[in-house]
Amino acid sequence: MALTDLHVRNAKATGKNYTLGDYDGLSLFVSPKGSKAWHFRYHWLGKQSRMSLGMYPELSLRDARAMRDEARTLIAKGINPRIARKQKQQAARLAGEHTFIAVYERWLAYRALALEEGRQSTLAQIRRVFKKDVIPPLRRMAIHAITRHHLLEVVGRIEKRGSLWVAEKVRTWFRQLFGYAMVIVPNMENNPARDLHVVAVPLPPVQHNPFLRMQEIPSFLRILRTYQGREVTQLAVRLLLLTGVRTGELRLATPAQFDLKRGLWVIPAASLKQRMMLTRKQRKRVNDIPPYIVPLSSHAREIVKQLLNDFKPAQKYLFPGALRLTDRMSENTVNFALKRMGFDGRLTGHGLRATLSTALNEIG
């Protein structure tokens, strides 16, 4: 006979275990002390099995019957309901353990093993972009629950404000992060970051740094001589033009890198823009990569000699910051000086490197 709410409610403790049957395998188990639990009995692979559905009164008769019917539906589909429930519980546990923020932090720590620190480093860019654009909408989501649609929404907001290069980087970082998640997160079988580029807004054409042609250099040098800003900035521009080094390498220059007797500037691999490519390609540590040797002309040596003579005890870099001697020159200092000299849109600090290269090629 089918149970009623009254039967269930009036089932009392008798000092022994006993069971009240419902139908289709559902029953109410009553303990010697009167606690009540719902059980479901079923046959699987020729053997009788039993699974607990929950306690009464937390789980009503109506709810217990609904859970029994769900279990019977799984059996009809060839699925063991007990195993299915364990998998569901495991998925819920994994969802709590493997939120997006938890996986992101593990991935970032892994990336930090190979990436260098620094304000403009890849590691710093990842932190800034994820903090601003990615973590707020995805922070508490289970990594398994994140779909391609969620990632497209994040990238779409970045594209909408016109930051197409940032969006391109985020797509790449998503592929790396979710590829990492597929290895470390149990039951992570799909990478939702695949093929995000298919609907990407096209990037604008690459605009190379503007530079001067050989016939423009004499007038540029005349203007440079009358520059009214800091002398160290003028010397920085002149040394860039004479050596062809990158602005980053110039800003990181220290007195120890210069051998004026031999007329050499020895730039360590740690200061080179391509250091990461070199370490990955050659599978060497940065300290094991030979330095970059820049020969110094007589004019370049005179500039370095003047800078060394003016070097203060508090300085670390040959080209100090404008506000603090302990800092290096700002990355915008050279470009701002060129702008003040009337070369806005016509020349940049990096363009000085291209100017020298073009002039040397024209000379042959």
pLDDT, tens digit, for every residue of 26-67?
999 999 999 999 999 999 888 898 999 999 999 999 999 999
Kind plus residue range of the DSSP H or E element containing 30:
strand 26-30
Q: What tokens does 87 get? A: 């998998």
Other CB atoms within a 10 A radius of the CB of residue 314 amount to 9
Residue 120 identity (one-letter amino acid): Q
What percentage of the chain exceeds 70 in pLDDT?
91
pLDDT at 264 over 90: yes
- The answer to which of 10-19, 69-78, 354-363 has the lowest mean pLDDT is 354-363
Other CB atoms within a 10 A radius of the CB of residue 190 amount to 12
Q: What are 296-345's pLDDT values in tens digits?
A: 999 999 999 999 999 999 999 999 998 899 999 998 999 999 999 999 98
Q: How far, CA to CA in Å, does 16 sit from each of 13, 33, 34?
A: 7, 8, 9
For residue 309, how many C-alpha atoms fall within 13 Å in the half-sphere facing its CB?
6
Residue whose tokens read 């009464």? 56
The contacts of residue 101 (CB under 8 Å, 6+ apart) are: 135, 138, 139, 140
Alpha helices in 161-246 (DSSP H): 164-184, 217-225, 231-243
Asked whether 332 and 291 are in contact (CB, 8 A), the reply is no
Q: What is the DSSP letter of 320?
A: B
Q: What are 143-170's pLDDT values in tens digits?
A: 988 999 999 999 999 999 999 999 999 9
Q: How far apart are CA 306 and CA 78, in angstroms?
A: 85
pLDDT for the residue 235: 95
Q: Which candidate, 9, 6, 4, 24, places its Cα nearest to that of 66?
A: 24
**What per-residue string of b and e applies to 71-109 under the rule 16 or more CB within 10 Å gives b?**
bbebbeeeebbbeebeeeeeeeebeeebbbbbbbebbbe
Torsion of CA 313, 318, 320, 324, to 10 degrees: -20
Q: How far apart are CA 150 and CA 156, in angstroms?
A: 10
How confident is the model over 355-361, as a mean pLDDT?
83
Burial classification of residue 347, based on how many CB atoms lie within 10 Å of its CB (0-12 exposed, 13-18 middle, 19 or more buried): buried
How confident is the model over 169-174, as a mean pLDDT?
96
Q: Which candidate, 98, 360, 88, 336, places its Cα nearest to that of 243?
A: 360
Q: What tokens does 275 get? A: 């250091």
pLDDT for the residue 320: 93
Domains of the chain as residue ranges with CATH: 5-94 (3.30.160.390), 98-199 (1.10.150.130), 214-363 (1.10.443.10)
Q: How far, CA to CA in Å, does 330 sit from each of 37, 71, 181, 336?
A: 71, 67, 38, 10
The contacts of residue 51 (CB under 8 Å, 6+ apart) are: 39, 40, 42, 71, 81, 82, 85
Whether omega for the bond prior to residue 32 falls within 30 degrees of 0, making it cis, is no
How confident is the model over 107-114, as a mean pLDDT?
91
pLDDT for the residue 286: 54
**pTM: predicted TM-score of the whole model, two decimal places:** 0.56
pLDDT for the residue 288: 64
How confident is the model over 235-260, as a mean pLDDT?
93
Average pLDDT, the chain: 88
pLDDT for the residue 274: 52
Counting DSSP H helices and E strands in the chain, the numbers are 15, 7
The contacts of residue 20 (CB under 8 Å, 6+ apart) are: 3, 7, 8, 11, 27, 28, 30
Asked whether 166 and 159 are in contact (CB, 8 A), the reply is no
How close are the terminal C-alpha atoms of the chain, in Å? 104
Torsion of CA 117, 159, 143, 112, to 10 degrees: -10
Burial classification of residue 312, based on how many CB atoms lie within 10 Å of its CB (0-12 exposed, 13-18 middle, 19 or more buried): exposed
